[in-house]
Structure 1
Amino acid sequence: MFQSRTMTAIVCHGPKDYRVEAVGRPEPKRRELVLKIDACGICASDCKCWSGANMFWGGQNPYVKPPVIPGHEFFGRVDQIGEEAAEHFGVAVGDRVIAEQIVPCDKCRYCRSGSYWMCEVHNIFGFQKQVADGGMCEYMRIPETARVHKIPEEISLEDAAIIEPLACAIHTVNRGDIQLDDVVVIAGAGPLGLFMTQIAHLKTPKKLVVIDLVPERLALAKSFGADVVINPREEDPIEIVRGLTEGYGCDVYIETTGVPAGVTQGLEIIRKLGRFVEFSVFGAETTADWSIIGDRKELDIRGAHLAPYCYPVAIDLLQRGLVTSKGIVTHHYGLKDWDVAIEKAYGLDSIKVLLRPGYGADAAG
C-alpha cells in the first residue's frame, strides 16, 4: 500500500505565526520510534509561546528554535520501529504509547543522578526541531533518550490525552507533602488545577479549597472533591481561609494561575511555616515582598517542574477510575482548524482543547 512521504503538521515560525503545512514525514533512526498521533493537547505554555511570551522568545538565545512542530501533550500508536528500538523501549508496532515531555540528554549531572527532568540541556518536545518536533502533526519521531510508557487499551482517548498534565499535577501535589490535618489551597482551576484538585482530594486533607474566577470551573472543582470554592470577584479568599483556620492561614498553597496575583495572594493566605508550591509558567515577571518568605513567615518555597516518575502513576489512576478527564476536555479540532483551536484554547470558554489528526476539517478535506 502506498504511503505518502508527507504529512500535515502545525509549524511554528514565530509568535502568532503558526501555519498548517505539508511537511516531510519522519523516519526512525537507530533506537528511535515513529508514532501515528491520536491526539495532542494545547497546553497553557503552548498558548503563551504562541502569543510571544518573553520566557520563550526573549534574550540572545531564545528557547524556541523555529521552524518547529509544537506540542508536548501527545499520545499515539507505534507506527515504525528503528533498529534496536523495540528492545530499547520495550514496545511493538501498534502499541499505544506516550513519551514524557522532556527529551533528556542522559549526559549532564542531573540526568546521570536520576534527576532527568531537570536536565541541563533541557529540550522539550515541540520547541527545538534539531532534537524533536512535537505532536501537533500526523506522525512524530521519538528519539533514543525519550522516556516512553505504554497506555492500556481500556483508557479512553480523552483520558489518554491528558496523561501529561495529570502527571504534572501528581508531581506538584506530591511536592506539597499534604498531611491529613492540612488545609490546602489550590489557586487556579484550569486543566492543571482541576487535576491537582482530584489528586489532592485523594490525599484526604482536612479541607481542600480551590480559587478561580470562572464559575463553571469552580463547579467542576467542587465535583472533584473541593470542600470550599472561592471566586475572588465575589468573596475575599484571605478572609475565608483565615476563617477556616482560626486566623492562621492554610498549611499548603499550590499556585497554578500563571498570573502575578496568584503569587502575592498566596504569600498572604498561607500560614507561618507553610509550604508554598509554585507550578505556573508565567508570561511576565512577578514582584513580591520577599520579607514575607523569610522574616515574617519562614516559608518553605517549593518549585514543581514537569512530571518525574509520575507517568506510570497517572496511567494507573486513570485505569482504576480514580481520576478523570470528564468535564475538563471540552473541545476537539482537526489540524486544519488550528487557528480556531488556538483562539479557543487561549480563551476562558474552554478548559482543555485537543488537536486530533483526521478529525473535523481534516476528515472533510
Structure 2
Amino acid sequence: MTTMAVYGEDVPSTMGGVVCYGPGDYRHEDGITVPAPGPGEVLLKVSAIGICAGDAKCFAGAPRFWGDGRKTPRYVEPPVRPGHEFVGNVVALGEGAGEKHGISLGDQVTSEQICPCDVCRYCERGAYQMCIPHDVYGFHQCTQGAMADYVLLPARARNHKIDKSVPPEHAVYTEPLACSLHGVELGAVQFSDIVVVSGCGPIGLGMVGGVRQKSPKLLIALDLYDWKLEVAKKCGADVVLNPSKCDVVKEVMRLSGGYGCDVYIEATGHPNSVVQGLDMIARMGRFVEFSVFGKETTADWSIIGDCKELTIVGGHLSPRTFPKAISMIEKKQIPVEEIVTHRLPLSRVVEGIEMVNKSSESIKVILLPD
C-alpha cells in the first residue's frame, strides 16, 4: 500500500536553491526537485535562513569540514544544499508526521540542526548532539539544508513550533540562541560568579542574554567592535571591553579584586581569545569553548593544570535548549531586531557568506527566498 502525504497548499515540482560543490563553489540554481515527504517526514516552505559562522568557514575551506588529508576526515558530502538555521511553514505532512512531531499544516516550525540516529552510544545516553552519524542539515546527503524554497525534515528530526506572532526574521535566530544557551549551561553560572563572554557575534550575544538570566555578580562582554558592544549592553552585559583599546586582562583582574573571572566563555573562534581567556580566568575557573576555528590554536597547558586547576569544557550544538530559546524570542527577552543586521535574497548567498567572514559590519546575516 502506497502512503500519501497530506498537502496544505499547491507545491511546485521544482524549486530554486543553493548547492555546495566544494570550498568557494556555492551556486544558486533552479530546477531542483522539491522532495516529497514520506512517513513521518515534514515539508517546510522556507521563510528565512541564517548564515552560520560554520557555513562561512566551510565556504572558506576549513579542514574541519573538508579534511586535511591526515587525521581529519572530510565532513561535507557535496553536492549538498547548505543551511541549518531556518524557519518555515508546514506545507505537507507525510503519513503520521503530524502526530509524531506535534505539528499541523500551516504551523511556523524550526528544526534542531542535527537529526540524531537515536541508536548510537551517545544518543542512548541523551547526548544526541554527539551522534556518530552526525547528520546536520546542509552537510550530508540525507539531511539536505534549507538554502532553498523548500526543505524536507526527516522522520528523526527534532522539530519545534514557534508562535506565528514571531516574524520569521526573528524566529530564524532560534538555532544560534539555542547553541548559546547550551554554552551557558556548560559554564554552570552561579550568582556569585564574574562571567566573561568573549565575542559579540550571534552566538556570543545569545550567551550574554543567557548569562543575564542566571543573574551573576558581574557580566563582562568583549569584542573588537564598539558597536557590537553596544548591542551586548542591550543583551544584559554590565561591562563591555574592547581588547584593541585596553588591556582586558588587567581590567578583568581589577574588576575581580585581582582574582580573575570565574567563568570564561570563548565565542570568537580566534586563537588570541583562547590565550587571553587563560590569562584572565581565576584559579579553579570554568572555561567554555564554543567556536569553530579555522586553524589550530597553541596555548600553555601548564596554566590549565599546574597553575590554575581549570575546568575546560567544550560545547557543541544545542541539546534540549530549543524550547528555552523559542520562549526567550517569543517573550522578547533578547533584542533580536538588533542582532539580525542584514537580510539578503537567497541568490546573494556568497555576498552574505563573505559578510559573515569579514564580520566587521554585520552580526547576524539572514537569507530570504527570492
Shorter-chain TM band: over 0.9
Q: Tell me the secondary structure at the aligned position of residue 124 of structure 1.
A: coil
1:128 and 1:139 map into 2 onto residues whose CA distance is 17
1:355 and 1:159 map into 2 onto residues whose CA distance is 12
The gaps in structure 1 that reach 5 residues or longer are none
User: Which residue does 2:103 correspond to in 1?
Assistant: 91
Give the alignment of 1:196-215 within 5 angstroms: 196-215=207-226
User: Which residue does 2:6 correspond to in 1?
Assistant: none
2:213 and 2:207 map into 1 onto residues whose CA distance is 10
User: Which residue does 2:3 correspond to in 1?
Assistant: none
User: Which residue does 2:85 correspond to in 1?
Assistant: 73
Query: Are the structure 2 counterparts of residues 96 and 271 from structure 1 closer, same or farther at C-alpha, using a change threshold of 3 Å?
Result: same
**Aligned 8 A contact 2:87 2:168 in 1:** no
User: Which residue does 1:147 correspond to in 2?
Assistant: 158
For residue 130 of structure 2, what is the amino acid of its counterpart? M
Give the alignment of 1:244-263 within 5 angstroms: 244-263=255-274
Give the alignment of 1:24-63 within 5 angstroms: 24-59=33-68, 61-63=73-75
Give the alignment of 1:317-332 within 5 angstroms: 317-332=328-343
1:279 and 1:344 map into 2 onto residues whose CA distance is 21
Superposed CA deviations along residues 123-163 of structure 1, whole A, max 9, x for unmatched, are 1110011x111111100111111101111112222220100
RMSD over aligned CA atoms reads 1.2
User: Which residue does 1:241 correspond to in 2?
Assistant: 252
1:9 Cα deviation after fit: 0.4
**Aligned 8 A contact 1:78 1:93 in 2:** yes
User: Which residue does 2:243 correspond to in 1?
Assistant: 232
1:231 Cα deviation after fit: 0.9
1:3 and 1:101 map into 2 onto residues whose CA distance is 24
For residue 333 of structure 2, what is the amino acid of its counterpart? L
Q: How many residues align?
A: 357
**Aligned 8 A contact 2:107 2:164 in 1:** no
Give the alignment of 1:75-224 within 5 angstroms: 75-129=87-141, 131-224=142-235
**Aligned 8 A contact 1:8 1:335 in 2:** no
2:342 and 2:271 map into 1 onto residues whose CA distance is 28
- Of 16, 20, 27 in structure 1, the residue corresponding to residue 24 of structure 2 is 16
**Aligned 8 A contact 2:81 2:146 in 1:** yes
User: Which residue does 1:305 correspond to in 2?
Assistant: 316
Superposed CA deviations along residues 260-291 of structure 1, whole A, max 9, x for unmatched, are 11111111100100000110111111111111
Moved more, 84-93 or 212-221: 84-93
Moved more, 36-45 or 115-124: 115-124
For residue 305 of structure 1, what is the amino acid of its counterpart? H
Q: Tell me the secondary structure at the aligned position of residue 317 of structure 1.
A: helix
**Aligned 8 A contact 1:108 1:120 in 2:** yes
For residue 209 of structure 1, what is the amino acid of its counterpart? I
1:3 Cα deviation after fit: 4.5
2:355 and 2:244 map into 1 onto residues whose CA distance is 23
Q: Tell me the secondary structure at the aligned position of residue 343 of structure 2.
A: strand
For residue 115 of structure 1, what is the amino acid of its counterpart? A
Superposed CA deviations along residues 18-54 of structure 1, whole A, max 9, x for unmatched, are 0001211111111111110010000100000000011
2:317 and 2:209 map into 1 onto residues whose CA distance is 18
Q: Tell me the secondary structure at the aligned position of residue 285 of structure 2.
A: strand
For residue 114 of structure 1, what is the amino acid of its counterpart? G
1:32 and 1:233 map into 2 onto residues whose CA distance is 49
The answer to whether residue 296 in structure 2 is matched with residue 285 in structure 1 is yes
Superposed CA deviations along residues 220-274 of structure 1, whole A, max 9, x for unmatched, are 1122221111111110011000001111110000000101111111111001000
**Aligned 8 A contact 1:255 1:277 in 2:** yes
2:335 and 2:110 map into 1 onto residues whose CA distance is 17
**Amino-acid identity (%):** 49
For residue 247 of structure 2, what is the amino acid of its counterpart? D
User: Which residue does 1:268 correspond to in 2?
Assistant: 279
**Aligned 8 A contact 1:159 1:324 in 2:** no
**Aligned 8 A contact 2:200 2:221 in 1:** yes
Q: TM-score under structure 1 normalisation?
A: 0.95
For residue 160 of structure 1, what is the amino acid of its counterpart? A
User: Which residue does 1:5 correspond to in 2?
Assistant: 13
1:226 and 1:89 map into 2 onto residues whose CA distance is 37
Q: Tell me the secondary structure at the aligned position of residue 240 of structure 2.
A: strand
Q: Tell me the secondary structure at the aligned position of residue 76 of structure 1.
A: strand
1:236 and 1:83 map into 2 onto residues whose CA distance is 60
